[in-house]
A and B are shown apart, each in its own frame.
Chain A
């Protein structure tokens, strides 16, 4: 179906359903319950899930298939955001030109950076990409371009946003003053109250979600194509590939540019959800987060990176908001002494300590599940399979692992 084999098609359908139903699925706890804290089904966070999903899906085409570990991918996200905000400033709040330019500009940057960085492999490649990204961060943070040309380009520490006196030459009176798709405003939403629950369906989330599905679909096609096979061959044995008559450089560069454009799309969408941006989006920790997302989810698998992005964004936004009072609330039913001990034990892992939790989860995954969360899923799946096989006569065929 859709040019996918049945296994990939099923996976794609599952993701489609999850994206559509996320506002409900991610809000399992009634709004006034103690656990409402853990609900992730609010637009700002769901947008992040799918937008960072796009970013990591693209990153995985480079890192997962070719093995080239870019340590500067956030730079492409950053230029995508700057390009989009500039379109808002110059043209109008319509997101079509903004997102298109984000992808194009990120693509151009990745051609140059990829061309230079791919002259080296392994750790040297990673360091080169990191160096480029940090240079771009430094340029954006002190707005060197603006100083050079006179005026503002990235607006330094303040960050770039849209002002009332910006040209916005395509704006007519009455046009929305927030990012929109031909009048369909990104931040409008529809709220559905049932029982104690309140589900929010937001335009911006669904637009990003659709683009993530399109990105995911394209990634599956790339994974299964002869191009994808060549990329995997690069990871496996470049020497043999060369003596087989294949020039690996243009393949690797194509993968680099594709993944850079995915990052640009993600950057453009971040700006489309909230029309401002700053240099910190390009900082090296942001690039590191992309690497961690991929490894946590499962490098080189189709669904892994999306899972990794989800887990990290969840922890960043949910675990970081839990404070001691909340924990006291959970354990209020216990005797005071025990309650206090529990709170003291949990304290370092919540709120600002969410990085500690993330670090421990990351270590556990890398040590016990080197294939990431996807490997965890596969192990669970095999466990079930074995149970089923014991009940029924063995008919299960083994298929290559996802």
Chain B
């Protein structure tokens, strides 16, 4: 049994079958990549996993509990965090505040009336956030407005916001899209470090094969809403069906 079990999931948008009978099992403490051409349904699948979309049929179990019908904040509280394809951060707040909010959410739950004590007195939370920022090399940007960060920094900040919660399952939707090569390599190193440090399961959607083959232990290839094959990176590289459906397409 994997930590995440997707069974028979279907999702239609009008006449378009975005997901057709998707079965997927992600084993605990692995990095599982989901690849596939544009429009294959990768983001849609992620949206189903975090409660943003409700599938027409099928089941999604996280650690033995169904996630379907739960609100996004409840799914997060189960231990699932998500990095979006376009960074979702609190642009009006400082970088430090951005990372403190997930710390509060982790400690205090979905709602806590905590209206009198000053944020400045929350030393533990602040330390936690600053340690995380140091890990992603952004500590010196703590007091900057998140909205004024570069695109690459916004992605790193979003990743820090997810990682600081120590999720059991981290979902990453094209985490290196739009990054320069150096930043991409930093991101790969960061994710490897996190993986080495503690138990975490990652599901990563990625177009960049360099990233996929640097990180993934299992790869699922999705095409037209249906998983084509699932295998180890080495086997996927040589798989004729994959070459045809995906790698071939990506080559031009």
Contacts and interface: CB of A to CB of B under 8 A. Distances in A.
Interface of A: 3-5, 221-222, 224-230, 232-233, 235-237, 239-247, 250-251, 254, 400
Report which residue of A228, A241, A242 has the largest number of chain B beta carbons within 10 angstroms of its beta carbon.
A242
Contact of A246 (B73, B115, B116): B73
Classify the interface of chain A: helix, strand, loop or mixed: helix
Nearest to A227: B115
Report which residue of A227, A250, A251 has the largest number of chain B beta carbons within 10 angstroms of its beta carbon.
A227
A230 B104 contact: yes
B104 A237 contact: no
A242 B71 contact: yes
Nearest to A5: B120
Contacts of A232: 90, 92-93, 97
Contacts of A251: 111
A251 B111 CA distance: 7
B91 A245 contact: no
Contacts of A224: 118-120
Interface stretch (B81-89, B131-139, B205-213, B220-228): B81-89
A225 B143 CA distance: 18
- Interface size class of chain B, counting residues whose CB lies under 8 Å from the partner chain: 35 or more
B161 interface: yes
A228 B105 CA distance: 14
A18 to B, nearest CB: 24
B105 A244 contact: yes
B218 to A, nearest CB: 24
Interface in B162-188: 165
B72 interface: yes
A243 B116 contact: no
Given A229-B97, A240-B89, A245 B106 contact: yes
16 contacts: A3-B116, A5-B120, A224-B119, A225-B115, A225-B117, A233-B101, A236-B90, A240-B89, A241-B101, A242-B71, A243-B50, A243-B76, A245-B102, A245-B106, A246-B105, A254-B115
Contacts of B102: 244-245
A245 B165 contact: yes
A242 B93 contact: no
Interface of B: 50, 71-73, 76-77, 81-82, 84, 88-94, 97, 100-102, 104-106, 108-120, 122, 143, 161, 165
B122 A236 contact: no
Contacts of B116: 3, 221-222, 225
A246 B110 contact: yes
A244 to B, nearest CB: 5
Contacts of A236: 90-93
A226 B105 CA distance: 10
A5 B118 CA distance: 9
B77 A233 contact: no
Contacts of A246: 73, 101, 104-105, 110-111
Contacts of A240: 88-90, 161
B143 A221 contact: no
B81 A243 contact: yes
B179 to A, nearest CB: 20
Report which residue of A4, A5, A226, A232 has the largest number of chain B beta carbons within 10 angstroms of its beta carbon.
A226
A247 B77 CA distance: 10
Nearest to B161: A244
Please provide the 6 A-B residue pairs with the shortest distance between their CB atoms, ordered closest to farther.
Answer: A245-B76, A227-B115, A236-B90, A245-B105, A247-B110, A240-B88
B164 to A, nearest CB: 10
Contacts of B115: 221-222, 225, 227-228, 254
A3 to B, nearest CB: 7
A229 B119 contact: yes
A254 B82 contact: no
Contact of A230 (B71, B91, B101, B120): B101
Given A226-B122, A236-B92, A240-B88, A247 B71 contact: yes
Given A242-B72, A242-B73, A235 B92 contact: yes
A225 B88 contact: no
B88 A229 contact: no
A244 B111 CA distance: 12
Contacts of B94: 400
A372 to B, nearest CB: 16
Contacts of B81: 243
Given A233-B101, A235-B92, A246-B110, A226 B73 contact: no
A257 to B, nearest CB: 11
Contacts of B108: 226
Given A225-B119, A229-B93, A244-B73, 17 more contacts: A221-B115, A222-B115, A224-B119, A225-B114, A226-B122, A228-B115, A229-B101, A233-B90, A239-B88, A241-B73, A242-B72, A243-B50, A245-B109, A246-B110, A247-B71, A250-B111, A400-B143
